[in-house]
Structure 1
Amino acid sequence: MNGRLPDFDISNAASIRRAVRIGGYAGYTAGFARERVQANICILPRSHAEDFLLYCQRNPQPCPLLARSDVGDPYLPSLGTDIDIRTDVPRYHVFRDGEFVEEVADISHLWRDDLVSFALGCSFSFEYALADAGVPLRYLDRGDVAGVYETTLDTKPAGDFRAKLVVTMRPFAARDAIRAIQITSRFPNVHGAPVHIGDPGLIGVDLSKRYRGVGSGEVLANEVPLFWACGLTPQLAVANAKPPLCITHAPSSMLVTDLRNASLASF
């Protein structure tokens, strides 16, 4: 879902958030504000927040924690000026007792004083670094996103939170695959290096069966598929933990922050 063509400055994080807040955009954010960090979002009741925090700490590749709100506070000042988690994500997915129930563009009516927001790193940050280094990402040229897949790999459980690892796949010619591994290894706070290279069947992935149909699964004959841990993994963990309420971003519709991608590079 790419939404309608935006009529705001897609290079400016604050402009994007303002447009999202007033209902002016509800699509993918890939390619937007390319120098700024975009974040996966998971919002949970206080009763489940500590176990989810532990789940993130035990699984830093799919769940690289950027920020956690105070209980009942909808603002995330460490990520940018005037970020309101209730309105500033283009599309939200709402889960009740672990089941997806609806997609909405605003969660003000669902906000409660016991909710805690978690912001997790997103691979859009290292995609900017790849593009800046001249490593081609064919799907971006078509306005698409990387293919998303559920694997047979287990994450480390915490309380009731447990899940198979979700990954994103990007295909590269061999010479570019080496560069992609080198570049993304510099960004551990946005998933870091790939978790798997080559044969998708070794991690239980069928490239024709994308998670919720998200992204491109195309791999050309001269390309090698690389797989990175994905921030949609927590949605599977939520389905297993079955909290009474959980709110996440919709796939590839992220919170655009004021943080610079370069600030997350480890070297």
Structure 2
Amino acid sequence: MNYHDLHPKEIRKLIRNEIITTPTAGMCGGYAQANLVILPQKYADDFKLFAEYNPKPCPILEITEPGSFITSMTAHNANIITDIPKYFIYKDGVKTDECYNAQKYWREDFVCFLIGCSFSFEEALMREGIEVRHITMGCNVPMYKTNIQCKTSGIFRGPYVVSMRPIKSDDIKKAYEITEMFPHVHGAPIHSGNPEEIGIKDINKPDYGDKVEIKEGEVPVFWACGVTPQAAIENAKPEIVITHAPGHMFITDILNSEIEERLFG
């Protein structure tokens, strides 16, 4: 099935029924995707500040009321704990489970944060003739922990996580110009070129996602990534947190072209 052409509501139904359990890059062409963090209310204010202090990796799209897993701003009555292809469960900072449905872990004191995702600007890159390698290869985007440190808020601290896309050297300026138009889905890259300059020792061994081919004449280009909160969670060690599995995103009802106006205009 061509998931690119389906409406988000149709995709979310397939996800809810566990027909789709794979990464969502390239699905629902034109629609914004989002990262997820769900945590107890007592940590919500500190996490909100953490996101506000670090807007490049953690641009907030929506925060639910305590005890609610239903979206109101980003999608019409979507269920955050069933409508993502795969979830990670963290207990005391350690990933203890992966599941396709997080209902059994739900607590009435939970607050859900949806955070912008770089998958949302990939269509704009491809429209301008820039290949997105992980979509071409049919795999997950490679993601890496870096030596760039987030600004701390309460118990939340840790490194930026970045996603990487190989870009032809002649197209790098264009890639910057295209993606800077999407500030709430990570915006322009934060680095291009030598991975070691941002603490990545082996580009062929991502911390999350899959390795992709970097061809001759291409340069690795790095964008801030919404998996950054998961690194902070590992340090903070709250008793329980639910996140999306990296690359397995919540697909919203908002067009990429409308996200800035609809949510932040």
What TM-score results when the alignment is normalised by the length of structure 1?
Answer: 0.94
How far apart in 2 are the matches of 1:167 and 1:228?
A: 5
Could you say which residue in structure 1 is the equivalent of 2:216?
Answer: 221
Residues 38 and 110, structure 2, Cα contact 8 Å, conserved in 1: yes
The share of aligned pairs that are identical, in percent, is 39
AA of the residue aligned to 1:112: R
Deviating above 4 A after TM superposition, structure 1's stretches of 4 or more consecutive aligned residues are 6-10
Residue type matched to 1:30 in 2?
A: A
Which consecutive unaligned segments of at least 5 residues does structure 1 have?
A: 1-5
- The residue identity in structure 1 corresponding to 2:207 is Y
Q: Distance in 2 between matches of 1:265 and 1:89?
A: 23
Alignment partner, residue 65 of structure 1? 60
For residue 128 of structure 1, report the CA deviation from its aligned partner.
Answer: 1.2
Distance in structure 2 (CA, Å) of the matches to 1:150 and 1:73: 31
2:40 is matched with which residue?
Answer: 45
* Matched residue type, 2:23: Y
Q: CA deviation at 1:124?
A: 0.5
User: 1:76–1:171: structure 2 CA closer, same or farther, 3 Å change rule?
Assistant: same
Q: Tell me how far apart the structure 1 counterparts of residues 11 and 111 of structure 2 sit (CA, whole Å).
A: 24
Q: In structure 2, what is the Cα distance between the partners aligned to 1:228 and 1:106? A: 29
Aligned counterpart in structure 2 of residue 168 of structure 1, from 153, 163, 169: 163
Structure 1 residue aligned with 2:94: 99
| Match of residue 253, structure 1, among 219, 239, 248 | 248
Tell me the residue number matched to 1:210.
206
Whether the 8 Å CA contact 1:8–1:19 is kept in 2: the answer is no
Name the residue aligned to 2:14: 19
Deviation at 1:175, TM superposition (A): 1.6
| Cα shift at 1:215 | 2.4
> In 2, distance between residues paired with 1:265 and 1:202?
32
Deviates more, 1:31-40 or 1:10-19: 10-19
Q: Which amino acid counterpart does residue 28 of structure 2 have in structure 1?
A: A
> RMSD of the TM alignment (CA)?
1.6
Q: Is 1:129 the counterpart of 2:120 in the alignment?
A: no
* Separation in 1, partners of 2:150, 2:80: 27
CA contact (8 A) 1:131 1:137 kept: yes
Distance 1:175 1:126 in 2: 19
Aligned to 1:238: 233
State the alpha-carbon separation in 2 of the partners of residues 161 and 77 from structure 1: 27
Give the conservation status (yes or no) of the 8 Å contact 2:141–2:247: no
CA distance in 1: counterparts of 2:12 and 2:163, whole angstroms: 25
Matches within 5 A, 1:133-144: 133-144=128-139
1:83 aligns with 78
Equivalent-residue separation in structure 1 for 2:39 and 2:5 (angstroms): 29
The amino acid that maps onto 1:20 is I
Partner of 2:179: 184
Report the 3-state secondary structure (helix = DSSP H, G, I; strand = E; otherwise coil) of the residue aligned with 1:79: coil
Q: Which runs of 5+ in 2 are unaligned?
A: none
Shift of 1:146: 2.5
Q: Aligned-pair distance for 1:264?
A: 2.9
Report what 1:3 is aligned to: none
Alignment length, in residue pairs?
Answer: 261
Distance in 2 between the 1:7 and 1:177 partners? 29
Contact kept, 8 Å, 1:163 with 1:236, in 2: the verdict is: yes
Question: Contact (CA 8 Å) 1:148, 1:210: kept in 2 or not?
Answer: yes
